[in-house]
Amino acid sequence: MKKILNLTYNLLKLKFSNASKPVMLSLYITNKCNLRCSYCFIQDEKVPQEVRNSEFTLEEIKKIIDDFYRLGTRMIFLLGGEPLVHKKFGEIVEYIHRKGIVIHVNTNGTLIDKKIDELKFADGICVSLDGIGEANDSHRGKGVYELAISNIEKAKSVGLKCRIHSMLTRANLHKFEELVHVAKELGVMITISPAHYIEAGNNKELIIKDDEYRAFWGKYYELKKQGYPIGNSLYTIEAMINWPLGYGEIMMKNAKLPEGYQRPIPCVNSKYYVGLSADGILHYCLKPGMLIGPNVKDVGVLNAWETLVKTRPDCYACASTNTIEYSLSSCLHKSAIANAIKFQLFR
């Protein structure tokens, strides 16, 4: 609770100032992974092998955490690759915890049972699942679904807070409601991201047509209203339903929009939130074309952050549930606060 209050206090200070501080950091500690998901960059042969094998050392990670803490970071999402394959994972989590930083771990769920003791300091565990049984395993590998579900139950049994996160694609679009029911049975929340949020979203086998996508959000909205444990806020879902552009398009600040359309909350990437890739690139977000920025290994965290703030693209918002939720949380929007409370209550 102390870490949550500390995070909230720092967000409140920012709300009444014009300062740019990376309160939230997505830290990719390794690009190595024990799975080969169909839409992941690890499968992309255009990505250099040295990038696919990138990984920070424990010493590098401690220095990065110290530097970001001084800049104001109070919440870290640990990602990969698969973060649990990092040999120093437990020490990394404990170091972040000792700094008083909120920690959320994003994982494919297959190694939780082997790393359960090392996860004890995590404030939240996000398990990636794309459907039930074959709907998931066709993308992630045979047996992954059952193992991930079993490990969610094990994590919950020792008091760890979990949620399911799904990458929405054409393959699982019409089966997604089944996974919502599974989340309810497990007693965990569920959130989603669109496939067009990552480079693999250009894969025609994965991408969803705009009219199908809008219809999905309408159904998702109804499930949320019916009380299912959907972690995406009503504000975000409504923003997706009413998105005035193509779902893969970015809304620029000077965009001409339909008369009467109310712009969503502005994106806070490189203002209150930032991502650091395992190869050292500090980047705006995961949208295609945005995985660019200075390398902290070359210029250091402070210089990299200052450069990113100054060179931020002239974009205003995009149809990414993740980005909208980050923006809501940073501004302490009532929808974000309500979701945070619900997550604390789900065990």
Concatenated DSSP letters of 21-79: ---EEEEE-B---S---TTSGGG-TTS-HHHHT-B--HHHHHHHHHHHHHHT--EEEEE
Q: What is the pLDDT of residue 6?
A: 86
Q: Give tens-digit pLDDT for 283-328.
A: 988 665 566 789 999 999 999 999 999 988 888 998 888 889 888 8
In the prediction, which pLDDT does 287 show? 66
Low-confidence ranges of the chain (pLDDT < 70): 41-45, 195-205, 286-291, 342-347
pTM: 0.92
pLDDT at 125: 98
pLDDT at 290: 63
* 3 state SS for 135-203: HHHHHHCCCHHHHHHHHHHHHHHCCCCEEEEEEECCCCHHHHHHHHHHHHHHCCEEEEEEHHHCHHHHC
* pLDDT tens for each residue of 214-228: 999 999 999 999 999
CB hemisphere CA count around 17 (13 angstroms): 11
pLDDT of residue 43: 64
CATH code for the part of the protein at 2-345: 3.20.20.70
Domain boundaries, the chain: 2-345
Q: For the packed helices 210-225 and 176-186, what is the interaxial angle rounded to 10 degrees?
A: 30
